[in-house]
Structure 1
């Protein structure tokens, strides 16, 4: 980036910026791939356990492994590989990953458990009660610590493999 008052031909930083724009965004690719793998694992697990395909799981939340954790971990690890761990981008992505994983095992997990209790209460209401026909609340919102850990591992390995592939191409 040029400072005010600079003139003349492009600096080497300008050339680096233009050449890097032609390359793939590995942090974004790592994050999206980790999300897709995690969600696909949920579909395959449901098929294995219940002998049915549940494609809604491709976009659903909850379950093993945590796709939220896989996504943000892959992003942070890929940024760390690409830019180093001393930069602002890594700091932001690392803190984002910590907040998302903490929230998945805290607030969202508890909200899902409350939804289970509320759904049971509504189910037991007499048919004439005004809330008896209420649509059930979504129960699978958060993650257990093992689900978050598994998602984090998936994200770490996804970013690592993408990094190794990108290095092999250079």
Structure 2
């Protein structure tokens, strides 16, 4: 873990201080938490696809949509980690929290509806006669947004990830 902490940066340019001893290696808790939450969420998608469809689909690691929401996990981990690092009274936390809310709302609203529209458009194109100019159109991506449970699962994953990274990082700075 110490190696990871050294790789993440030895000084802070934001002017904020991390929890723990200021003479130890500074850890960018928010960045590490967000990236780790994203990687875990995307990895889980590969396994949930295998569980449901009994096939490995490594494209899920880079795709959007599905369980859990990696967008929600990422922005929640970021906001929670900023709260741990800088406290919840500052503008940095407020910014991260508002960003998280907007991203999660967008995932369940706009992007989910766009995915449902893509599904309907693909069905319409599929039913067109072969001689129609649009019959050979490439299908639109349908898995764009998230259901509320997918967003909630991503948010929970982000919260837990940020908490664990904070505890590990805090313990490592005491050594």
- Does the Cα contact within 8 Å between 2:27 and 2:169 map onto a contact in 1? no
CA distance in 2, matches of 1:138, 1:21: 47
Larger Rg: 1
Determine the structure 1 residue equivalent to 2:101. Answer: 98
3-state secondary structure, aligned to 2:38: helix
Aligned pair 1:153/2:156, yes or no? Answer: yes
Determine the structure 2 residue equivalent to 1:29. Answer: 32
3-state secondary structure, aligned to 2:134: coil
Determine the structure 2 residue equivalent to 1:71. Answer: 74
Displacement over 3 Å in runs of 4+: 19-22
Determine the structure 2 residue equivalent to 1:124. Answer: 127
2:115 to 109, 112, 117: 112
Aligned pair 1:137/2:140, yes or no? Answer: yes
Q: Deviations over 1:91-142 (max 9, x none)?
A: 1100000000000000000000000000000000000000000000000000
CA distance in 2, matches of 1:55, 1:69: 21
- Does the Cα contact within 8 Å between 2:73 and 2:156 map onto a contact in 1? yes
Aligned pair 1:52/2:55, yes or no? Answer: yes
TM-score by length of 1: 0.87
3-state secondary structure, aligned to 1:63: coil
TM-score by length of 2: 0.84
Q: Let me know the Cα RMSD of the aligned residues.
A: 1.7
3-state secondary structure, aligned to 2:141: coil
Point out where structure 1 has 5 or more consecutive residues left out of the alignment.
1-13
3-state secondary structure, aligned to 1:137: coil
Aligned length: 155
